[in-house]
């Protein structure tokens, strides 16, 4: 990814959580561009270049997807399933970032080939540290194929 802008797709309907993620990624200069979507259908429209996202120049592939589970329109587990079944998308790392610690949710996410499952910490400092480490790991230290 040397030289190219780092794009993170954030799929999060909670405005406070989204703001915290965006601020942390920007403060630590982890991403050059953050594409925020408030529901699963908009995220899928972007990834499949439908509606207003038809032009590939204005809808570049993200380098990482941060996905909440409880989303309006299309649930996060369904978004994950669709991404991981699509050959052109399945290599994009998808990290579930949610408040749910339910074993059923964890099992279903891994059943749909999630790359990582993280439970949002309650405290700001812990959340900020998690986002910093996550960004450095997936976008800095980890090696993956070109998208």
Quickly count helices (H) and strands (E) in the chain. 5, 5
In tens, the pLDDT along 63-112 reads: 899 999 999 999 999 999 999 999 999 999 999 999 889 999 999 999 99
* The pLDDT of residue 27: 78
Q: Which among 86, 73, 71 has a CA at the least distance from the CA of 10?
A: 71
* The pLDDT of residue 31: 67
Dig out the tokens for 125 from the structure: 């400092």
* The pLDDT of residue 147: 56
Asked if residue 1 has pLDDT above 50, the reply is: no
* The pLDDT of residue 131: 81
Contacts of 121 (CB under 8 A, 6+ apart): 127, 130
In tens, the pLDDT along 2-29 reads: 556 788 999 999 998 899 888 888 877 7
Alpha-carbon distance values, 124 to 24, 98, 128, 131, 144 (Å): 10, 15, 6, 11, 30
In tens, the pLDDT along 39-65 reads: 999 999 999 999 999 998 889 999 899
- Domain 7-138: state its class: alpha beta
Where are the domains positioned within the chain? 7-138
> At 142, is the pLDDT very low, low, confident or very high (cuts 50, 70, 90)?
low
């Amino acid at each position: 990814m040397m030289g190219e802008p780092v794009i993170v797709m954030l799929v999060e309907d909670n405005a406070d959580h989204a703001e915290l993620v965006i601020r942390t990624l920007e403060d630590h200069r982890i991403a050059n561009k953050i594409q925020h979507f408030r529901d699963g259908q908009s995220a899928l429209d972007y990834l499949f270049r439908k509606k207003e996202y038809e032009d590939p120049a204005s809808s570049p592939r993200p380098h990482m997807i941060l996905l909440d589970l409880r989303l309006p329109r299309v649930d996060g587990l369904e978004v994950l399933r669709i991404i991981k079944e699509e050959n052109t998308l399945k290599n994009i790392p998808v990290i579930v970032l949610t408040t749910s610690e339910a074993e059923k949710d964890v099992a279903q996410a891994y059943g749909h080939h999630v790359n990582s499952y993280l439970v949002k910490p309650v405290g700001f400092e812990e959340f900020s540290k998690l986002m910093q480490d996550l960004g450095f790991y997936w976008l800095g230290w980890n090696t993956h194929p070109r998208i």
